[in-house]
Amino acid sequence: MLATLVWIIFVAGTLLNLNALWRVDVRRLDLLDGILLGQAYYVIVPLAAFLIAGQSEAPDLLLVYRPYQDLATTFMLLSGLYLFPLLRLIVPRIHPASRDTSDPAMFGWVVLLFLGSGLAAFSLSGLGTGGHWQGNLEDAFRNPAFLPVKYAANVARNAVFAVLLYRVTSGRTSAWRAVLWGGAFAVIDLMTTFNRITAVYLVLLIVLLLKHRPVSLALAASASLAAFSSLSALWPAFRGLATVRGYSLASFAEAWDIAQRAGSAAPRTLDGSLNSVFESSNIVVLNWIVTNYGDTDRPFLAFAMFARPLTLLVPGAVWPSRPENFGLSLGEQIAHLPSLALNSTLYGESYANFGWFWPLGLGAFVLLWHAAYRLIAPHARVVQMMGAFAGIAMWRFDASFIGSAALLTGALVFGTWIVRTSHFKPYGRFYFYSFASLIPVVFLVGQLR
């Protein structure tokens, strides 16, 4: 009886989300649309599998989630299926007839920021000279310059897929060219950060481009997810070995061969397959939060998730008691690794802050940042699309991400406005190419460490 009730609520909520997504006008995409799309990818799909299997495990963390026993977590997830479609119903999109004020130069600046910040982060990490990617990253964070560069790179690799989508919807390029550009960006990011999240952005870009072609959408999504699943199954072993003996093609080939042999010998499990593609372990971590927060040892964090995005660039020496990074705090509490950031979907941090008042807190948080993107450039559709992709990423990161995303988006809008004013416009290309010329310089300096 209980399982039947859970399934009825889940199916109804899923249909509600699919209806909201079907009504999305890709040309007027905004942050709330991104939240819905992110929920479909990071919550609905893995939750369906958990309900079928009856449980999910995160063996590395010694955590388990049983949806028909851990009912507090299950009904929290089910409630979320109704919360965001309701917010979407209440909050209007940009009016179809409103004039688009997007700056065409935004594409070039975002791509430049993606390449520049990505290569700068790669250089500062020292991966070019070899070492384990995680160890190098921990060492790099001891350099005060690395943190803002990493924030910029994290935002840029998200925004670059938004500007690609905008170029297609505004008629400036074809869908195939956008996918090819996106594939190139994903490969660049994979080989400089060894993080797979840009592959997710690429898959969702394809889904949005094919939204009104259901047969093509089904075929492309199935092929993309199959390829992504195969890559993801081998990726942890590959990236752990890829640069240990130096950053070279020979080292990559050796690591890939070892990863393939290890992958063929290891048994494939549902949890492993889901986690490699949909980050399903985030829900298992969420269950730990619901189980453990709210007692005397771990009191609720009140409004920390509202304060964290606004204080992420404030040095700890200036404000020692500033809210800490929630993902890192989870890594220390669960795995006892201060350098490990664990994710718990949007629901995890909201519950850790507000307990069972999380719908009010999370709803207000999402609407606040939706309004922030509207304030940055209310009629610039490229900016709202950047907000949509930031909304997707909010399911994967903690609250600090959206603060850095909005801040950098606002800086880009202001910068492009300065360049296109009458006084600076003649020098726009000069500024662009001058900034571009710094990229190889920063890269080479990083290799001389």
Query: Which pLDDT belongs to residue 424?
Result: 54
DSSP string, 264-319: HHSPP-HHHHHHHHH-THHHHHHHHHHHHTTSSSS---TTHHHHHHHHTTS-TTT-
Predicted TM-score (pTM) of this structure = 0.89
Most confident of 125-134, 251-260, 325-334, 372-381: 372-381
Q: How confident is the model at residue 447 (pLDDT cuts 50, 70, 90)?
A: very low
Query: Which pLDDT belongs to residue 149?
Result: 84
Nearest to residue 13, comparing CAs of 110, 79, 64?
79
| Mean pLDDT calculated for residue range 413-417 | 85
pLDDT per residue as tens digits for the range 346-363: 999 999 999 999 999 999
Query: Which pLDDT belongs to residue 364?
Result: 95
Query: Which pLDDT belongs to residue 213?
Result: 78
pLDDT per residue as tens digits for the range 238-279: 777 778 787 888 888 888 888 777 766 655 666 666 767 778
Tell me how far the alpha carbon of residue 145 is from its chain's centroid: 22
Query: Which pLDDT belongs to residue 388?
Result: 97
Nearest to residue 185, comparing CAs of 156, 145, 214?
156
Query: Which pLDDT belongs to residue 443?
Result: 43
| Mean pLDDT calculated for residue range 79-105 | 90
Q: Is the pLDDT of residue 146 over 80?
A: no
3-state secondary structure of 33: helix
Query: Which pLDDT belongs to residue 446?
Result: 43
